[in-house]
Amino acid sequence: MIDYECLEHEDGTRLIGFGFFAGVVGAHNGMMAYGKRTGSFSLERVYKKKNFQELIHTYFGLKIPLVKIAVTGSGRVAHGILEIMNLMEIHEAEPDEYKSTDFAYPVYVHLKGEDLYVNRRTGKYSRKEFHENPEQYECLFRDYISETDILLNGVYWYDQIPRLFEMEDMKKESFRIKTIADISDDRNGSVPCNFGDNTMENPVYGVDKISRTRTAPYIENSVDVMAVGNLPNELPRDASRYFGEQLIKFILDDLLSGGSKIIKNATIVKDGTLTEQYQYMKEYAEV
């Protein structure tokens, strides 16, 4: 049994992942939700389109109002989000000017690790140190909350990494964010008002800023949250084709020739037994 998500290059980068298409669909759905809340524009659903190419045509002539959008993350998900930002002709702003300028056109800021996190003691960011000791860092996203209308979140998160904000922040008058597309989709994670998944058919729910309870979307005094765990399923043709192309490019020859280190490292079970690097699953597997 080989887990395709564990297929990695020597530097630890995953060979195969649907993150780009999750970013595309999540960004689209986030923008769609903001359009519905404000009535300023309308977007069709992704899954009603044949493929990504057909989806692109729906952006021609689209007029986005004067919004400020924060895009977080630096992986495949973020690349998908940025693709939609560019297709919608939303301009990129640098972090400093984003926080201090009122623009005459819609803008987004792309916040990566060094923009989001800082060591509490040194005031600096080291990618290696951050991933080894995230508890030593604090998040700087609060500096952007009062300037952001839409948050498109693509950061990798686990429980030792600081959240982008806390639930208490939503009560503050400075909390300007109206729509959040939590594409990373960690329940109670980097976006604390992610209360769990909705469905492809109904991807958005509301969260009341005062009571911090789940509500219907698009109502007064709430923040709209788009959280869906299977976003690439809205573009099945493109996602499946990409998946197959990556398998053919990096894995097929090795499979036919008897295997490789990449395949070995992703093999969870061989001859009915857990392999050495997956022994941590032994207790679970024997239940």
Q: What local confidence, expressed as pLDDT, does residue 278 receive?
A: 93
Q: Where in the chain is the domain with CATH 3.40.50.720?
A: 19-234
Please choose, from the candidates 197, 266, 158, 206, the residue with its C-alpha nearest in 3D space to the C-alpha of residue 33.
206
| The pair of three-digit structure tokens given for residue 98, joined into one six-digit string | 């984003």
How does pLDDT run across 153-171, given as a tens digit for each residue? 999 999 999 999 999 999 9
- Residue pair 68/148 in contact (Cβ under 8 Å)? The answer is yes
Q: Express as a percent the part of the chain with pLDDT over 70.
A: 100
Q: Given a cut of 70, is residue 287 above it in pLDDT?
A: no
Task: Give residue-wise pLDDT tens across range 40-70.
Answer: 999 999 999 999 999 999 999 999 999 999 9
- Quote the pLDDT of residue 9: 85
pLDDT top residue among 93 and 243 = 93
Q: What is the pLDDT of residue 49?
A: 96
Residue 125 class from Cβ within 10 Å (0-12 exposed, 13-18 middle, 19+ buried)?
A: middle
Counting Cβ atoms within 10 Å, is residue 25 exposed (0-12), middle (13-18) or buried (19+)? buried
Q: Provide the CATH number for the domain formed by 19-234 in this structure.
A: 3.40.50.720
What per-residue confidence (pLDDT) applies to 5?
84
Give the span between the Cα atoms of 163 and 166, in whole angstroms: 7
User: Is it the case that residue 233 has pLDDT exceeding 70?
Assistant: yes
Residue 10's pLDDT is what?
A: 82
Q: What are residue 20's phi and psi, to 5 degrees? A: -60, -45
